[in-house]
Amino acid sequence: MTSFRPVETFLSDPPSSSASYSYFKELLSALRSNDGRMEAIKALRTLEKRFAEAESADDFQKKYHFSFSKIDLGADHGVIHLLQLPSIFAPEEWSYTFYEGLSRFSPASFEDKTVAELGCGNGWITIALARRTRPRKIFGLDINPKAITCAEINLYLNSVGDNGEAILDEEGQALWDRVEFAESDLLSHVTQKKGLKLDRVVGCIPQVLSPDPQALLRKATEAASDQALYDLSNYTEAHGYLEDQFGLGLIAKAVEQSVACLRPSGSIIFNLGGRPGTKVLEGLFMRRGFHIDKVWSTRVVQAGDTDIQALVEIEESSPHRFEFYMGTDSRESISAKTAQAYAAAGGTIAHSLSVYEATLPSHEQVAKILDYLSTPANKKLHEALDLSSNDPQVYSERVRFLAHLAETFQTTQSLPYGDTQGVPELRENIARFVRTFYRAPVAMSQILVAPSRSDIVTNIISLYQPRRVLVDQDLVHRLIPAHYQGRLWLGSEILEAPRRLELLEDLVETLEPELVIACLTDFENESGVGLGNLFAVTAKKNCRLILDISNYFDLSSDPGSSAALQYMSHHTLPDHVHLICGLVKNRVYSDLQLAFLISENQSVIEALVSAAEFSYSRTPFLMQEYYNKILRDLLSFHMTQARESQVISIKEARVDHNTNPKLGPLAKNARLAFSHPCITRNQFPMSASTVRLDYGENCLAIPSNLSHGIYEAYVRREISFDEYDPSPEILANLKRDYQITGLDESQLVLGAGVAPLFAGLLIHIKQIGGTLVFPRGAYGEFVAAAQFFGVGLAHCETYEADKFKLTPKGLHKCLQGIQKPWVFINGPTVNPTGAAYSSTELDEIANVIEAHDGGLIFDSIFGGLNFKGDREPISLKHLATRDVPWVFLGGASKLFAAGGLRFGYALSDVPELIQWLHQNPFEGPHFTIQYAIKKVLAAYQSRDPELVSSLGQQRLLLAERAAILGSCLRECGWRVLEPDGGLFLIAKPDAYMGKEFLFTDNSGQEQKVVLDGVELVKSLFFTENLLINDSKWTGIDGYCRFVLSVTQEDFDQGLARLRSFHKRVLEKCN
C-alpha cells in the first residue's frame, strides 16, 4: 500500500510550493495503486472541502499553494472537479472558448478516435472531451511536468467514486482507460510510439514571443519555480519558422509535427488568438497545404500578465500590424503599440479568439514535402513554402509534383541528361494515355518529346528543307520567328494558311507546298469531317503534313475529343502525317510547356532524334518529370494492362511499314551530319550493361545549393522577374572570372542549354555567309551541328606539342583567304583534350582574328573545372579593346553537374547578333530554372562555403580519376595527353595501331579489322561492351576520348574492361 501523510498533518504546517507539490505527488502515487486509491481519493475530497470552506480562496491558495475549482459542462455531461497548482495555467476565457469550439463538433467526430491535446495544462479539456465523446484514446500532453502531475490527479478525481471504485461509462470503461497524460514537447510523446497515428490533434498553445527566450528554454523541469513554469503557458521562443515573427513559431511547429502523426483523414483543431490577424493565422495552415474552417470565434480581454512588448518590437521593425481592440465590444482594431499604451493608461484591451479546424486533402504528399524540408540543410526553404490554392485541381497537381520532387532529391544527387528522344517512362506513359483514352494503338517508340512545338518544326524544316511551307494562321506566330513569317526561313518560303480544311486543301492543290503545318477548327475536330481528305490531298502532292492537336489534348481524366487520335484508333497514320502536341495549358506553373510528336514513320522519328543533338540537345529533365508525374497519377486509376491486349495486337501488326519514296529525302546537310560519329555511335547495340565513357556529361552529384534553388523555385507560389532573372549574377561572375566588364543585360541572351544558342549562332553565320573555324580537336557534336545547318567549315591544324590548342601561327595560316571567319574556342578548358589556355595565349589568338577581320565564339562551358583550384582568372578584357566581334557562351551543365536542367547563356557586343538570338526559334529556360541558376550563381559569386567545398571535392575527384585512368591506359599501351582540367582525357593506342584483330559483331558475323583510332573503338565495344569516342569524333588523328565524370561503378568497370581488352589483344595478336 502506498503511503502519504494525513491531510491534517500536511495542512498543520503551511508548506512551501515545492513541499505542496511533493505532497500531491505522494497522493498521485497512491491513486495509481489499487490499494491506496480509496484513501487518496478521500484525502483529495477533504482537501477540496477545506478549500471550499476557506474564508478567502486567494489567501488559502497563497498559504498552501493549491486550489480547487469546478466546471459545469452542461448538457448532461456533469461537473468536473479540478485541482489547480500555481505553476499551471488556470481555466479561463481562452480555454472556455476552445471547449465551446470543440463542443460544436458532434461526439461522433471524436468517438472511437485517437486524439492528442497539446498544452493540456491541468487536463480539464482532455477529461471533458473523454467524458463527452468517448474516444478510443486521448493523450493530454504538456511540456510542464507539474501540469502532467496535476492533470493525472484530476483524472482520478473525476473517474473514481468516494470508495475508490472506478466510475464506468455505458461501455464499461473508466476515464483512465481512455485518457493518458504525458510530459511532452508538443507531440514528441506520440512520435516515440512507433506506428501510433492520431485522428485529431487539438490544442491551445502560446502565441507570444518570450521577453527572455533563453531563460524559457531552461524552465521545463520540476525544480523550476512556479513562475518559470507558468510562463510556459504564456510565451514561446523562436523555432526557426517564418511565423516566428508573429509569435506563431510554436503553432507552426505543432502543425508540421501533426502532419507526421495524423491519419490521412485526420484533422487539427486549434484555438488561436487573433492578434496576428486573420490572414496570417489562416496562412499558417494554408501555406502548408491545409484547408481550414473557422469553427468558433469571440473576443476576450488580453491577459494582464502577458507582456506584449515583443509584438510592439515586431511592428517597429516590420510592416506588419497586430490586431487588438479597445474592449470586447469594439469593432475597429488598434496596433500592438497603441494597445500597450492604452493598457498602461488603465484601458482594457482585447483580441479575437477563434477555433479553427484544418484538414489535409493531400496528406501523404504534404507529409513527404515537410519531411524533405525538415532536414537542417533544407530548413531555410520553410520560408518559401506556399501550398495554398483555391483551385482543387491546381492544388492537387502542384502538391503531388512537389512531393515527387522531394523524393527525387532525397534519393538521387544527379540531374540526368536523359535520352534525346525523351525520358522512356514519359514516352511510354504518353502512349498509354493515348491508348487508354483514345484507343489509338500508339507505342512509345512512335513518340518524340521536345521542349516545344517550335523546336520540332524547326528541326523538320532543317531536315528536309522544303521549298515552300504552309503554316496555320494562328500557329505561324508561335512556331516561326516573327521576322521570317512570309519570308525564307532556313531556306524555305513560309506562307500563312487558313484553318478551314477545304480552303487549305485548295491551297495545297494550287501551291504544291512540301510541308503543311495545320490545325483543325472546333467543328472539324468534333466531327472529323475532312481529315481523311486532307491526308489524301497532301499524300497526292507528296507533301508532309504536321497536324497540331494541342487545342484538343488535355491531361485529365476527361480529355475531350481529338479527331486525329480517334482516326488512329481505326486507321494507320499515313507515312507523311505526323501529329504534334504542345502541353501548354499548365495552370500551376505558367509557361511550363512540353511538346511531343507522334509518327508511325520510324525514319522520321530517328531523323528528329539525330537533329535534336544539334539543336535543343535534350528536353529539360524536370519538365519531363512534371508531366510524367501527372500521367503516372492519371493512369494509376485505370486497368490499362487489362484493357490493352486488343489494342496491342493491332499496334504490333503495323509497327514497321515502308516510307513513301516520293516524299522529299533528307537534306544533303543532314545526311552529312548524320555520318558523324556523334550520331553513328548510337547505332551500336547498347544495353543496360554497356559502360559509356563516351557520354560528355557531368554525372556527378549536383551541389546542394542548386537542388535547394530548384525546389524553392517550385515551392514558391509567386516569383517576380527580378527574383528569378540570373543576368546580374552572370555578369558579376564574368567580371570576376574573365574580367569582362562594361556590358549589361541587354547584351545577354538565355537559352535552354548552350546547344540551342550555338544552333542559333550557326544559322546566323550561314545567313551572313560566314565560315566557322574549328581547331583540329574540338567538340564533335558542335562540328556535326555546323554541318547540319550547312555552315561553311574550316579546320585549323593543331599539334601534340601544344596540347592540340590553337596557336597564333597556325591560326594565321588557316585564316588565309577565308571570308568572314568565326573562330571557335573551348576555353579556358578545352574539350576534348582537357588542355587549358592562358590569358596570354587567348590575347595572341585575338590579335590574329582581328587581323583577318574575323569573329570569336568562346565557349566557356568547361570553365571552372581546372584540376588546380589556384589558377589565376582568365582575362578576356582585351576583347573590348579590339575590333573583333565576339560571342561568349556559358552554362551550368558541366561545373554544376546540371545537364538535365538545361541552361545556357550567350553574351555578345554585336547588337544584330543578340537581336537574332533573342528571336531564336528554340525554347528558352523556364523561370523556375532561371531562379535555381540565379541562386547557385549567387552562391558561387559569394564563395559560399558549402558550394566551395562541393566544387572542391568534385575537382579533386576528377583529378584523381584522370591520374588513375591515365595510369591504366599507359599500362595498356596508350599514349596519354595529361589534362589540366575538364571532364575528359584523350589518349592514342600506340601499342595497338596497325595490328589485325578479330571480333564478332551483334549479328554474329566475325569481323577482321586493322586497329586504328576508329576500328579500335568498334573492337572495344563488341568485345568488352565499352564505348569511347573515336579519333574521328575528336578530330585528332589516332586519339580517342574518355569521359571521367561518370558514376563510380561505370568508372571502375571501364578500367577493368580496358585491361581485359589489352589482355585480349595481346593473346590474339601475339
Asked, for residue 677, whether it belongs to a domain, the answer is no
The pLDDT of residue 68 is above 70: yes
Q: Are residues 37 and 71 in the same domain?
A: no
The pLDDT of residue 35 is above 50: yes
Question: What is the rounded distance in angstroms from the CA atom of residue 864 to the CA atom of residue 866?
Answer: 6
What is the model's pLDDT at position 780? 82
Q: Are residues 889 and 954 in the same domain?
A: no
Report the alpha-carbon angle 289-293-294, nearest 5. Answer: 130
Q: Is 475 exposed, middle or buried (0-12, 13-18, 19+ CB in 10 A)?
A: buried
Asked, for residue 347, whether it belongs to a domain, the answer is no
Residue 247: Cβ within 10 Å count:
25
Domain boundary pick from 946, 971, 999: 946
| Percentage of the chain lying above the pLDDT 70 cut | 94
Q: Cell digits for 474?
A: 494562328
Q: Are residues 103 and 11 in the same domain?
A: no
Q: Are residues 923 and 961 in the same domain?
A: no
Asked, for residue 1028, whether it belongs to a domain, the answer is yes
Q: Are residues 937 and 1013 in the same domain?
A: no
What is the model's pLDDT at position 656? 40
Question: What is the rounded distance in angstroms from the CA atom of residue 512 to the CA atom of residue 489?
Answer: 18
Asked, for residue 32, whether it belongs to a domain, the answer is yes
What is the model's pLDDT at position 216? 43
Domain boundary pick from 915, 931, 946: 946
Question: What is the rounded distance in angstroms from the CA atom of residue 524 to the CA atom of residue 789?
Answer: 37
Asked, for residue 697, whether it belongs to a domain, the answer is no
Q: Residue 876: which CATH number? A: 3.40.640.10
Q: Are residues 27 and 100 in the same domain?
A: no
What does pTM read for this prediction?
Answer: 0.89
Q: Confidence class of residue 349 from pLDDT cuts 50, 70 and 90?
A: very high
What is the model's pLDDT at position 652? 41
The pLDDT of residue 650 is above 50: no
Asked, for residue 364, whether it belongs to a domain, the answer is no
Domain count, the chain: 6
Q: Long-range CB contacts (< 8 A, 24+ apart) of 34-40? A: 35/1, 35/2, 36/1, 36/2, 36/3, 36/4, 37/156, 37/160, 37/164, 38/163, 38/164, 39/4, 39/164, 40/2, 40/4, 40/156
Domain boundary pick from 285, 312, 341: 285
- String of b and e for 835-860 (b: at least 16 CB within 10 Å)? bbbebebbbbbbebbbebebbbbbbb
Q: Confidence class of residue 937 from pLDDT cuts 50, 70 and 90?
A: very high
Q: Are residues 1017 and 1044 in the same domain?
A: yes
Question: What is the rounded distance in angstroms from the CA atom of residue 64 to the CA atom of residue 16?
Answer: 7
The pLDDT of residue 213 is above 60: no
pLDDT tens across 417-436, in order? Answer: 889 999 999 999 999 999 99
Question: What is the rounded distance in angstroms from the CA atom of residue 230 to the CA atom of residue 247?
Answer: 18
HSE-up of residue 479 (Cα within 13 Å, Cβ side): 32
Per-residue 3-state assignment (H helix, E strand, C coil) for 384-446 = HCCCCCCCHHHHHHHHHHHHHHHHHHHHCCCCCCCCCCCCHHHHHHHHHHHHHHHCCCCCHHH
Q: Are residues 89 and 9 in the same domain?
A: no
Q: Residue 216: which CATH number? A: 3.40.50.150
Q: Are residues 123 and 233 in the same domain?
A: yes
- The mean pLDDT of 482-495, rounded to a whole number, is 71
The pLDDT of residue 215 is above 70: no
pLDDT tens across 857-870, in order? Answer: 999 999 889 988 75
Asked, for residue 566, whether it belongs to a domain, the answer is yes
Of 664, 722, 763, 740, nearest to 938 by C-alpha is: 722
What is the model's pLDDT at position 378? 82
Q: Confidence class of residue 653 from pLDDT cuts 50, 70 and 90?
A: very low
* φ, ψ (nearest 5 deg) of residue 168: -100, 145
Q: Are residues 657 and 610 in the same domain?
A: yes
Q: Residue 1035, Cα to own-chain centre: how many angstroms?
A: 39
The average confidence (pLDDT) of the chain is 89
In DSSP terms, 988 is beta-bridged to 975
What single letter denotes the amino acid at residue 610? S
Q: Are residues 941 and 1060 in the same domain?
A: no
- Cβ atoms 654, 600 nearer than 8 A: yes
Instruction: Determine the 3-state secondary structure of 560 from DSSP.
Output: coil
pLDDT tens across 138-195, in order? Answer: 999 999 999 999 999 999 999 998 888 888 888 899 999 999 999 999 999 998 887 8
- Cβ atoms 931, 723 nearer than 8 A: yes
Asked, for residue 187, whether it belongs to a domain, the answer is yes
pLDDT tens across 136-147, in order? Answer: 999 999 999 999
Q: Are residues 856 and 880 in the same domain?
A: yes
Q: Residue 1014: which CATH number? A: 3.90.1150.10
* φ, ψ (nearest 5 deg) of residue 444: -60, -30
The pLDDT of residue 219 is above 70: no
Low-confidence winner among 102-106, 366-370, 527-531 (lowest mean pLDDT): 527-531
pLDDT tens across 375-418, in order? Answer: 887 877 878 889 998 899 999 999 999 999 999 998 888 888 88
| Percentage of the chain lying above the pLDDT 90 cut | 64
Q: Which domain holds residue 539?
A: 424-666
Q: Confidence class of residue 660 from pLDDT cuts 50, 70 and 90?
A: low
Rg from Cα positions in the chain? 37
- Cβ atoms 1041, 1029 nearer than 8 A: yes
